[in-house]
Structure 1
């Protein structure tokens, strides 16, 4: 069956619900852009393919679809787990409605992703916590820097009045420690400078990070690239993005070093992957196109007690860590209207950075 009515086609193409139409043999007749985005496949290229070539669920689900064709009986399924061709798992609800057209039975599938709604809720909570943390840190920094300025000034005045030059060693300690604390507070606040935006290829940023990491690790890290060369240039601050990605990669290096991977025969592995996503929501804004940068390592994973506070300043899993690297990274990504997420379990940690590719965005 082909959809010839332009108005009906227009309505289906603009639905936010993923919609597929299957023939009696369970082969694809049509899918709208929402379904293409959900399953990460092309409807035009997938036309005529068997349903299992688009995604897999279970043999029982396939039998239910065949039964729906034979008996023309609709059914719903909740919290089904689909596996796409790319290996991505999706938790969805879907409804199957048989349609009789000129003696032929067709199946209309309406797929509602559940994990995407949960992700959007999680993102909004993360952004809200980030703004709350910023306000808290700014208030704390103000209360710290004011007395530090007074302490430093008093130490300078005292140094001028001391009769013995050797006593100035003590006032110098006061001044140096006050300066160290002020610099620490400034790092907690992050840069107040607006990003210096220029058109840049994201892979130039990643390759610069790779060259720095390769030099630092002296080739003891197995760096893997999985780039999508079709990604267009972005309007970003190149130096800030290098710093943001480098902070994450260095954390991965230190996690691998903690396992002794860098000194063993089997090298620690860090992978950099880029992809594009369509109709992706960041906070309250839906972007037509975003670039997704993933930094993946095979280290020990992030302790469960740190995952909820990972991007807070002064939170670190290392005794000698400052806990500022990821907080600075999140601030840089936020200045680019982007988002950073983390998923971790032993042997597999993924940091995902989402950056809008298009300036035009709409509220969902």
Structure 2
């Protein structure tokens, strides 16, 4: 097959192109396909396409059937697993050339688009929920001042009386509710954007976490020293990250994990989209623990207020962390299975493109 004259054209396409013979042996792949499959075109020539990916359904048979029948087909949201164990979601189209015995596969990766769509929906839902919670907290907080004032006046009238004990309970419980509503309202000061070294923040968090962590829980640091300073509010970022680290330590401690481990890992990600903004560079911070994991029925809702899987939890820590990271135009994502729970925080570095 003569394709030399079209190499430059095909290599400039964003669509992954793979040309195979009747036995699904690769005859040509363009640059986008090399990137998609994480392979080199020189090493794949003549090798079977099935050596580089697998799918749970009958994709190879569908391709061969299309070639035999001379009809093309398109499949949406197919799940591929590559030879390096990486999974991806793709749309692909198969176009056979029965006369020459070749078949062309065009693949469009969807993971980034699906994640962007999911993040946009989640951010919108989170914003709506936060507004509702703040409104509710204000409505609760306003009458608490009147209740506390009335209880104080009553306490003065009952000074020395046995009933004065009950007014003190009213005052203490009112104060507790006010502290709770203050946490629900979140920080009321704007983000003070200053250059910050993320690893200085993490070192402070590690020092604080180790004070309360049992001796059998290990905190591991896996830093990428090449990450430049980011613009942010040091106090707010410390609070956001410390909430997540403390949750990991408490999960390990409460479940008596014998060799408990919390891993703090930082990496740089390039061309990453958060909401509708495309960031050239972001800092990716992961907090990973080997605890029992988050119950599947809670995993989708853990960043909403009052949702918690711990008996002693208030359900506000993660909601506050997400709010603080969102204030920095970032995002937190979570994945969890028994033995590995990972919170990933994405914080922009440098300029953004809409």
TM-score range, shorter chain: 0.7 to 0.9
SS at match of 2:152: helix
SS at match of 2:350: coil
Q: 2:44 aligns with which of 50, 66, 69?
A: 50
With normalisation by structure 1, the TM-score equals 0.76
Q: 1:352 aligns with which of 326, 344, 350?
A: 344
1:153-197 CA deviation, whole Å, 9 max, x = no partner?
A: 222233344464766444333222212111110001111111222
Measure, in 2, the Cα distance between the counterparts of 1:288 and 1:107: 36
The answer on whether the counterparts of 1:224 and 1:271 sit within 8 Å (CA) in structure 2 is: yes
Measure, in 1, the Cα distance between the counterparts of 2:129 and 2:350: 28
Q: Which runs of 5+ in 2 are unaligned?
A: none
Matched ranges for 1:1-364 at <5 A: 17-19=14-16, 26=26, 31=31, 36=35, 48-50=42-44, 56-58=52-54, 78-83=76-81, 87-95=85-93, 110-162=106-158, 164=160, 168-261=164-257, 264=258, 267-362=259-354
Measure, in 2, the Cα distance between the counterparts of 1:120 and 1:184: 33
Distance 1:306 1:250, change over 3 A: same
Measure, in 2, the Cα distance between the counterparts of 1:221 and 1:281: 35
Measure, in 2, the Cα distance between the counterparts of 1:270 and 1:311: 20
Measure, in 2, the Cα distance between the counterparts of 1:3 and 1:219: 63
The answer on whether the counterparts of 2:286 and 2:342 sit within 8 Å (CA) in structure 1 is: yes
SS at match of 2:346: strand
SS at match of 1:321: coil
1:128-165 CA deviation, whole Å, 9 max, x = no partner?
A: 22112112212211221121111112222333444647
Distance 1:304 1:160, change over 3 A: same
Measure, in 2, the Cα distance between the counterparts of 1:163 and 1:225: 56
Measure, in 2, the Cα distance between the counterparts of 1:64 and 1:306: 38
The answer on whether the counterparts of 2:53 and 2:82 sit within 8 Å (CA) in structure 1 is: no
The answer on whether the counterparts of 2:30 and 2:41 sit within 8 Å (CA) in structure 1 is: yes
SS at match of 1:305: coil
Count matched residues.
342
Q: For structure 1, which segment, 105-114 or 274-283, has the greater mean C-alpha deviation from structure 2 after superposition?
A: 105-114
Measure, in 2, the Cα distance between the counterparts of 1:294 and 1:97: 42
Measure, in 2, the Cα distance between the counterparts of 1:138 and 1:186: 9
Distance 1:3 1:106, change over 3 A: farther
SS at match of 1:358: strand
The answer on whether the counterparts of 2:16 and 2:108 sit within 8 Å (CA) in structure 1 is: no
SS at match of 2:297: helix
Measure, in 2, the Cα distance between the counterparts of 1:272 and 1:195: 24
Q: CA RMSD in A?
A: 4.0
1:46-87 CA deviation, whole Å, 9 max, x = no partner?
A: 5744388x993039989999999xxx9987565444446864
Distance 1:237 1:258, change over 3 A: same
TM superposition shift of 1:207? 2.9
TM superposition shift of 1:336? 0.7
